[in-house]
Structure 1
Amino acid sequence: MKQFIVIVSLFVSQLVWAEDPISTGFFSNKALSGYDTVAYFTEQEAVEGSSKFKTEYKGADWYFALQQHLDMFLAEPEKYAPQYGGYCAWAVSANKGFASSDPKQWAIVDGKLYLNYNKSVKQKWDDDRSLHITQADQNWPEMMPK
């Protein structure tokens, strides 16, 4: 029984540390659940992307509502990609944690896109955005595999 527990804990600890650089679903490889990351900047709203306008970036599939948005992303992916790989900004800040995010719980601050887990978590993040951004910026490099 001890061997089983050791093996399971090793497997689980590897899962904790083996997060992908871009948040995707368990059964999908879609960044932002298939939402158009450029639309947050151009339309100021969450817009679902289309498989007609798709690219691969950092191991994830990115979908766009328009060819123009795909072209803008291809020209400057770091400008449009969400911070912290699209993981919940509050979780990265407060817990050094990897939590999924809801593409409808977003904010653009100083030209950067941030996503959060749900509405109540986003409210916590909104209470002191600058503190959470500072903390997450410090935590994120330590969280990514070398």
Structure 2
Amino acid sequence: MKKLSIILFVTLVSVTTFAQTATKRVKEFNLESKVAIQGYDPLAYFTQKKAVKGKSTIAASFEGVTYYFSTTANKDAFVKNPVAYEPQYGGWCAYAMGANGEKVEINPETFKIVDGKLNLYYNAFFNNTLKSWNKDEVNLKNKADANWKKIIN
């Protein structure tokens, strides 16, 4: 009986933690109707080295956040290891997160893979923040990591 109680308790804590994590992610991530990266395929940035629009018919969710994919193979690879392909900083502009700790919209076609992670940037009105990021990447990355941790935890 004691073993069953422990199992039930661990299950309850796990489900509660997942629900809290999913709720926090949906609140803090850059989403449109719970969809990340404006519907772009997160795998394509790594495999095709370009932004490719995903299809709503090929979708997967991870901890409350939905991603669209251009192919079933990309979806399957994501499902096996979602953390490897999710964008940094909840899909917000990496430069703004590093410079000011702000959540700024992105242009999904302006990106860079940094240390194996997808970083996205604001690029509109003659302001491409990827250029600014490249001038001080190490410093901005460290600040962005710290700022995002404060937001998501």
TM-score by length of 2: 0.76
Q: What is the CA distance between 1:60 and its match in structure 2?
A: 2.3
Q: What is the CA distance between 1:45 and its match in structure 2?
A: 0.3
- Distance, in Å, in 2 between the alignment partners of 1:122 and 1:74 is 29
Q: Is the 8 A contact 1:22 1:59 kept in 2?
A: no
Tell me which residue corresponds to 1:24: 31
Q: What is the CA distance between 1:113 and its match in structure 2?
A: 0.6
Q: Is the 8 A contact 1:88 1:116 kept in 2?
A: yes
- Distance, in Å, in 2 between the alignment partners of 1:80 and 1:98 is 20
Higher helix share: 2
Q: What is the CA distance between 1:19 and its match in structure 2?
A: 7.5
Q: Is the 8 A contact 1:21 1:58 kept in 2?
A: no
Indicate the structure (1 or 2) with the bigger Cα radius of gyration. Answer: 2
Tell me which residue corresponds to 1:134: 142
Q: How many residue pairs end up in the alignment?
A: 126
Tell me which residue corresponds to 1:123: 131
Q: Is the 8 A contact 2:44 2:50 kept in 1?
A: yes
Tell me which residue corresponds to 2:4: none
TM-score by length of 1: 0.80
Deviations 1:26-58 (A, max 9, x none): xx3220000000000000000000112101223
The amino acid that maps onto 2:148 is: W
Q: Is the 8 A contact 1:22 1:58 kept in 2?
A: no
The amino acid that maps onto 2:27 is: D
- Distance, in Å, in 2 between the alignment partners of 1:137 and 1:87 is 12
- Distance, in Å, in 2 between the alignment partners of 1:138 and 1:29 is 24
Q: What is the CA distance between 1:95 and its match in structure 2?
A: 0.8
Using the aligned pairs only, state the percent identity: 37
- SS of the residue corresponding to residue 138 of structure 2 reads helix
Tell me which residue corresponds to 1:95: 100
Q: Which runs of 5+ in 2 are unaligned?
A: 1-24
- Distance, in Å, in 1 between the alignment partners of 2:133 and 2:91 is 15
- Distance, in Å, in 2 between the alignment partners of 1:34 and 1:19 is 15
Q: Which runs of 5+ in 1 are unaligned?
A: 1-17
Are residues 21 and 109 of structure 1, via their aligned partners in 2, closer, same or farther at CA, if it must alter by over 3 Å? same
Are residues 101 and 29 of structure 1, via their aligned partners in 2, closer, same or farther at CA, if it must alter by over 3 Å? same
Higher strand share: 2
Off by >4 Å, runs of 4+ in structure 1: none
Tell me which residue corresponds to 1:13: none
